[in-house]
Amino acid sequence: MTTDLYPAARDLLAKLVSFDTTSRGSNLELIAWVEGYLDDLSVPHRRVPNADGTKTNLMATIGPAIAGGAVLSGHTDVVPVDGQPWTTDPFTLHEADGRLYGRGTCDMKGFLALALAAAPELAKVARKPVHLAFSYDEEIGCLGAPHMIEVIRRELPAPAVVVVGEPTNMEAVNGHKGIATFHVTVTGRECHSSQPHLGVSAVMEAVKLMGSLNALSARLWDDVDPASPFTPKGATLTIGQVHGGTAHNIIARECHFVFDLRSPGPRTPAEIIAPFLAECAAMDAALKARAPEAGVVVDMHTDVPPFLPEPDGAAEAFARRMAGDNGPPRVVAFAAEAGQFQQAGFSTVICGPGSIDQAHQPNEFVEIAQMQRGATFMRRLIEWAAES
């Protein structure tokens, strides 16, 4: 008689949620706990850390070290809760009205909990390998996964499929937009605001650049392929953060802003913003002519590739079989690590419990019914891994 994996997954989710793995901090405490859990199952694992060792990816292989396995991939970091009106402790799992509340329940510790709940049985019966691939810093630009993906590509017997467990209501998703994030710093020259001719206002110059981006955003909104499966259909550009100036009566020395560009392809972010970069270069030269210390610097902080539908994709077929999904092809507008796995040559699909509508929100939750569907997915995965 097979056991229901949901109760174990719920308990594991409560433990995972209890670790504050907000991206600005470390995930090492959670990783160490997962390592202890895997040690109890005699499952081998290894870390793929960041440069200074303050964060790490975690890889583990359950079953034989042979080709043809499945990768279950998910990120361990979560977004901040600062300023959000939570009605319960975000780092304590709270159950009510058929939902499990807590930061990361939906995005995406629910999937990690399901994978770990399947591990004890997989460790006993697996004839095909199931690889766990838990990453760091997905929420700030998918920064951790590439190092782990390279290790998987270089050192593991080739997996047949990769399942990235982002929240999709346990439905197979075969495409997502790419995302590039840019940091722009405008430097001017401070002086008294009554003598603006003696200074250079970084804020007022930055406003010009942000106006250009706003105009570009409007053009992108209008320039779309009607057949695009995405919502919104085309590329989108938004300015998410602005910081600048010291006081109302000081000509601002610095203004810093951040924008993101989400594109389904085939145009690259560099192609889309080429005119803006040319404008920044021209402004940089003009500001330096007024004050040598002034200028404009643009830094591409992240560049996550789009995830493209794969004709007759093995991973999509696999996820549909595990999830019992016979629905139409689906894509999502949010970016994920799936594009990075695909770019490395792996057949990839996104499929996980919960809805992106609950991600990053106060009182984030995953429905218990979604976790139960995920438990069924993992039960079928165990059966698949046990087949010779």
Spatial CA neighbour of 89 closest among 77, 109, 103, 78: 103
Q: Exactly one of 77, 190, 260, 367 is catalytic; name it.
A: 77
Active site residue 89: no
- The owner of tokens 């019914």 is 369
Q: Cis before residue 64, ω within 30 degrees of 0?
A: no
Active site residue 279: no
Q: Exactly one of 107, 121, 138, 337 is catalytic; name it.
A: 138
Q: What is the 3-state secondary structure (H, E, C) of the chain?
A: CCCCCHHHHHHHHHHHHCCCCECCCCCHHHHHHHHHHHHHCCCCEEEEECCCCCCEEEEEEECCCCCCCEEEEEECCECCCCCCCCCCCCCCCEEECCEEECCCHHHHHHHHHHHHHHHHHHHHHCCCCEEEEEECCCCCCCCCHHHHHHHHHHHCCCCCEEEECCCCCCCCECCECEEEEEEEEEECECCECCCHHHCECHHHHHHHHHHHHHHHHHHHHHCCCCCCCCCCCCCEEEEEEEEECCCCCECCCEEEEEEEEEECCCCCHHHHCHHHHHHHHHHHHHHHHHCCCCEEEEEEEEEECCECCCCCCHHHHHHHHHHCCCCCCCCECCCCCHHHHHHCCCCEEECCCCCHHHCCCCCCEEEHHHHHHHHHHHHHHHHHHHCC
Cα separation of 290 and 61, whole Å? 60
Q: Which residues contact 207 (CB under 8 A, 6 or more apart)?
A: none
Q: What's at 219, amino acid-wise? A: R
Cα separation of 241 and 299, whole Å? 15
Cα separation of 252 and 190, whole Å? 6
Given a contact cutoff of 8 angstroms between Cβ atoms, the answer to whether 331 and 199 are in contact is no
User: Which residues form the catalytic set?
Assistant: 77, 138
